[in-house]
Structure 1
């Protein structure tokens, strides 16, 4: 989710030295352009851990019971046991592949008929996709990483897998029920260098198409700040993300429907580090 293109590793000092020591002939210009193109096609790995404070809103159905889903993040946080979120991207600045995942585990205990009922819920969402830079506008100047400032538009396509798993223990017995589905999606990414340090990234995709869910929508936007961290080019990011899924299938009873018509939305903070 949090991405930036590889920087060009040629320093401005080296360029100035070459220009002052000899005439910058057409042949030298061609050599410089060739070196720059070669640098821009080097593959890089970008690792982006993040935290998404998502609330849930919508409706659901299980075993013939319909319920409204309205869970603010503060309530989820009270029962949060484990969370892992992150994005890994491999890109040469023109083409790229990415993997994005979130795993959240919550637990809670309730009382019923003088007995304690335990409920553990695990939610996992994994996405994998590819993109390419289809159109780029030069804004002039460079970023602090030595890359020309641009606005780039990148079509993307991939698949998103979702699993909901519930472990229920009561009256001395326990059971596990789960549902999972896979959604293909298509979308568009936009990456804009606002200044030499500030960056805006936005992405939106739509999927499902009745292959997995009826429809799924993912939209996110982040404002980023470029800096070095541990000697690596890094972008600190903060923004907002929405994931909406409308999925329906037979539930574990075989006679009723499981439905998950829910949007997850909330602020996101994280960073992207290039290796």
Structure 2
């Protein structure tokens, strides 16, 4: 994790320098490194291993985390009131969580990448962005099966990824010259890839200086994805809610 933090810090400084070089009166940029006290509630199914429990709290994730990182980047055109942002989070959880009956261990790698276009509506003390974008999920699971259940192939692996079209809205309300209330909600899926996905965020940003801010939020993201025929090879189901507090540091240019 120390190497991971060091690598993210180098990326953060490099992108900060690059963004500063291209910043102008028209374009504003921001870069955020953040961490999540994540909890996962739900289940996953692979083939005949149906209904594997993924209810794990932050303490279990912390104990099993082998690698993780989160980064958020935005660019905004102040003249046309439109922009783009990208967000990437990844975590690699080691083995050790029991699953359903017959499953002794589950190894989970989860990555989420999203990119959005934004169109801003300005108020006196508020800024509201309409959101349209894509969210890409990439899940790698490895299930260790009880030898008493199968005669061979005691480990089964699955790599499943999909992309959801997502629409939403977010609002920033200036409470004073330091504190800003931040709210966001979006929905997607609708059976195009996942059956449904929803994300909600609420919290505050605190302005440290002209260029630096702290970000305190609570986030919840639900996804319900299923492919294949239940109980048969190739079947995969992922129905979870990932939620928890977010703490980030923002550099603006």
Offset of residue 222 of structure 1? 2.1
Matched residues in 2 for 1:178 and 1:172: separation?
17
Q: 1:81 aligns with which of 53, 63, 66?
A: 66
- Give, in whole Å, the separation in 1 of the partners of 2:190 and 2:38: 24
State the superposition RMSD in angstroms. Answer: 2.7
Helix, strand or coil for the counterpart of 1:209? coil
Q: Distance in 2 between matches of 1:66 and 1:56?
A: 15
Counterpart pick for 1:268 among 231, 246, 251: 246
| Per-residue deviation, 1:41 | 5.5
Tell me if 1:165 matches 2:140. yes
Picking from 22, 46, 55, the partner of 1:70 is 55
Q: Which one of the candidate residues 147, 154, 163 is aligned to 1:182?
A: 163
Match of 1:226 in 2: 207
Using the TM superposition, give the Cα deviation of residue 211 of structure 1 relative to its aligned residue in structure 2, in angstroms: 1.1
In structure 2, do the counterparts of structure 1 residues 129 and 67 end up closer, same or farther at CA, with 3 Å as the change threshold?
same
Cα 1:214/1:118, change in 2 over 3 Å: closer
TM-score where L is the length of structure 1: 0.71
Does 2:212 match 1:238? no
Write out aligned runs for 1:183-222 (5 A): 183-222=164-203
Could you tell me whether the CA contact under 8 Å between 2:46 and 2:158 is conserved in 1? no
What's the offset of the Cα at 1:261?
Answer: 1.1
Task: List gaps (5 residues or longer) in structure 2.
Answer: 1-22, 99-103, 146-151
Q: Could you tell me the TM-score, scaled by structure 2's length?
A: 0.77
Residue 184 (structure 1) shift: 0.4
How many pairs align?
A: 217
SS at match of 2:123: strand
Which structure would you say has the larger Rg?
1
1:54-203 aligned at under 5 Å gives the runs 54-64=38-48, 65-93=50-78, 94-108=81-95, 120-134=107-121, 136-138=122-124, 150-167=125-142, 176-203=157-184
SS in 2 for 1:70: coil
Which segment is superposed worse, 76-85 or 168-177? 168-177
Q: Which segments of 5 or more consecutive residues in structure 1 lack a partner in the other structure? A: 1-38, 112-116, 139-149
Change (3 A) 1:209 1:119: closer
State how far apart, in whole Å, the 1-side matches of 2:176 and 2:97 are.
52
